[in-house]
Structure 1
Amino acid sequence: MSLFFDFSKYINENGESLAIEVVEGVIHRMKLDIPDWEKEQAIAIYVELLRFFGESLIQESEDIVPDTFIDWSKRNAAMQVSSGRKISEIAVRYPPTRDVYTEILTRISIELGLSVKENALIIKRINTMLDISLNETVIAFERLIDEAKEETQKELAALSAPVIPVKNGIVILPLIGEMDHYRANYIMEHVIPKIADMEINHVIADFSGIFTINVDVAEYLHQIGNMLQLMGIHVITTGLRPELAQIVVNSRISISAIETYPTVKKALESIK
């Protein structure tokens, strides 16, 4: 154990120079061209990691990683997401990082006279920390990607079903793009309450901007129309092209119960 104390002391006393050696070694092996600020950030984090690593060698716990290292891993994931880059660009850096650490720590072990078994324990410990860092990075990346997709879906859903007032008591609900379950549900949860809060007598649901629709979504939209009617709002459908009308028929919705017009202009003229 005394040799581990010597190893820990060495790591703490030479943390910055060792961190620089790790970063420069990885950059050289991978032929990376990274900005100075990113290099300095990596060095600072590895100084913290090495300090913590040195202390962990003389403690009982083997599975603790410094919070700063975890936070750094998550920040790396956030930068990849914000820049539109892939998580693989970070993941590929871990193998050469392991190699560099293995070489450096083995060299120190030899200098201090540690046994092969003690050196193996040291290498295992640093690999555990790197594994946790990689896991945290990937998990954070996937979570941020999912959040970004959710936000994009919300934005697209809002754009695909805007509420456009045209006259007192009349709004047009143009349905735009590809209508799927998410967008239909968005209309149910956000657009209908918005219309309910307005003094609306007539809603013109215009399908002329719809690219595609399936039977299930057609039924969903029919339910939305029924909701509006139950609220005392007159619903008119326009722009229902033949292929869309066929899907409506296939969904077993009775077209005779739907007031339809070829264009919004015709629908507006029909409202007295």
Structure 2
Amino acid sequence: MSVSVTLQVSERILDQKEQIAMQITKAQNKKYSIELKDKTEQLFPLRVELVSIYAKALALEEVEAEKSIEAWGLETGRLCARLETTLDSMLGEVPHYRTYIGEVLKEVAMEQELSLQEFYDLISKLDHTMNLVVYYFSVPFVEYQTNLLEQSRNEILELSAPVVPIMEGVAVLPLIGTIDTYRAKMIMEESLKQSVHLRLNYFVLDLSGVPIVDTFVIQQIFQIIEALRLVGVEARVSGIKPEIALSVVKLDINFNKVKTYSTLKQALADLVIHC
């Protein structure tokens, strides 16, 4: 296929980039009215830019085209993620680009009387370019959303381990909800950090709000107690229910040096007396 044909195709697409972008916008707003319609102002110029990317890529060497698509994808993938679009709706645009840009390719092919092989080569290059666009757009999009999800998870976990100072040298950590491996790690880190920051002597772990206290939870609590002991803080445990006591006995974990209470009220009353 001659260079003049690819240049002509590229120029024709560039001449129609805004019309193509508008057609795609209308199609997408109809299909994803809830997700995308209110983002038309932000997405339309991005679609114009992408049409230009396709047009220029058809006239570039493969390596050079891929570099430009990679740079575009890194920026645009993150931007679309920040706009709170969905990957499903964004990838849903791909067939529209193929349809409308394909129409331009067909027009030029008919005008230039391209052979079947030449037209096939042109379509194949468009398909290859689209595959690159999908890849280089999706990677940063997913990375941004994954990082955001991880950040949100950490913020939620930090809120789920609230260390509450009660009096000088004394704080309580009221645990509520299920404790898994990730949360246990967060509780450990937060307990140690706040114990040092608040210069604690006593730290009360209250299990009253934990619905299931199995062997895993007990082992994690014991590790937290041991870690606190190493930084000079005496840990006490409240909210000990009969089933918890039975689990501790079955595990043969040595809680002899740890003061335990059935309620938080009892633990605080004892600390008031001895502090």
- TM bucket by the smaller chain? 0.7 to 0.9
SS in 2 for 1:262: coil
Q: Which residue of 2 aligns with 1:192?
A: 192
1:144 match? 144
Aligned CA RMSD, in angstroms, stands at 2.7
Residue 265, structure 1, aligned to residue 265, structure 2: yes
**In 2, Cα distance between the equivalents of 1:264 and 1:112?**
85
Q: What are the within-5 Å matches in structure 2 for residues 165-176 of structure 1?
A: 165-176=165-176
- In structure 2, the residue matched to 1:95 is 95
Deviation at 1:125, TM superposition (A): 1.3
Aligned 8 A contact 2:175 2:207 in 1:
yes
- The alignment covers a number of residue pairs equal to 264
Matches within 5 A, 1:1-272: 1=1, 3-12=2-11, 14-27=12-25, 29=27, 31-32=30-31, 34=37, 35-50=40-55, 52-56=56-60, 59=61, 61=63, 64-66=66-68, 67-71=70-74, 73-75=76-78, 77-79=80-82, 83=84, 85-271=85-271, 272=274
Change (3 A) 1:72 1:46: farther
Paired residues of 1:70 and 1:133 also in contact (CA < 8 A): yes
**Does the Cα contact within 8 Å between 1:63 and 1:128 map onto a contact in 2?**
no
Query: Structure 1 CA distance, aligned partners of 2:213 and 2:153?
Result: 17
Contact 1:73 1:136 (8 Å CA) reproduced: no
* In 2: Cα distance, 1:140 partner to 1:251 partner: 47
| Higher helix fraction (1 or 2) | 2
Once structures 1 and 2 are overlaid, which stretch shifts more, 169-178 or 253-262?
Answer: 253-262
Q: Deviations over 1:80-100 (max 9, x none)?
A: xx52x5321122221232222
The one-letter code sitting in structure 1 at the alignment partner of 2:3 is: F
Q: For the Cα contact (< 8 Å) 1:9–1:54, is it kept in 2? A: no
Bigger CA drift: 166-175 or 195-204? 195-204
Q: What is the rounded CA distance, in whole Å, between the counterparts of 1:62 and 1:261 in structure 2?
A: 70
State the AA in 1 paired with 2:20: V
Q: Which residue identity is paired with 2:73?
A: I
Deviations 1:134-163 (A, max 9, x none): 122332232223212211221122111111
Q: What secondary structure sits across from 2:166 in the alignment?
A: strand
Amino acid aligned to 2:24: V
Q: Secondary structure at the match of 1:211?
A: coil
**What is the CA deviation profile of residues 144-198 of structure 1, one whole-angstrom value per residue up to 9, with x for unaligned ones?**
2321221122112211111111111111111122211111111223431331243
Say if 1:29 and 1:108 are closer, same or farther in 2 by CA, change over 3 A. Answer: farther
Query: Matches of 1:206 and 1:263 in 2, distance apart?
Result: 8
The one-letter code matched in structure 1 to 2:47 is: A
Q: Assess if the C-alpha contact under 8 Å between 2:172 and 2:206 holds in 1.
A: yes
- Deviation at 1:256? 4.4
Label 1:242 to 1:141 Cα distance change in 2 as closer, same or farther (>3 A).
Answer: farther
More deviation in 106-115 or 158-167?
106-115
What runs of 5+ residues in structure 2 fail to find an aligned partner?
Answer: none
Q: Distance in 2 between matches of 1:214 and 1:137?
A: 44
Q: 2:259 & 2:170 partners in 1: Cα distance?
A: 15
The question of whether the paired residues in 2 share the 8 Å contact of 1:237 and 1:260 is answered with yes
Identity value in percent: 23
Contact 1:16 1:43 in 2 (8 A): no
Indicate how the Cα distance of structure 1 residues 142 and 70 shifts in structure 2: closer, same or farther if over 3 A, else same: closer
Q: 1:29 to 1:205 in 2, by over 3 A?
A: closer
TM-score by length of 1: 0.83
**How many Å separate the matches in 2 of 1:164 and 1:173?**
6
TM-score, structure 2 normalization: 0.83
Amino acid at match of 1:69: W
Give the 3-state SS of the residue equivalent to 1:260 in structure 2: coil
Residue by residue over 1:6-47, the C-alpha shift from the partner in whole angstroms, topping out at 9 and shown as x without a partner, is 4314523x3443223432443455535542442233113312
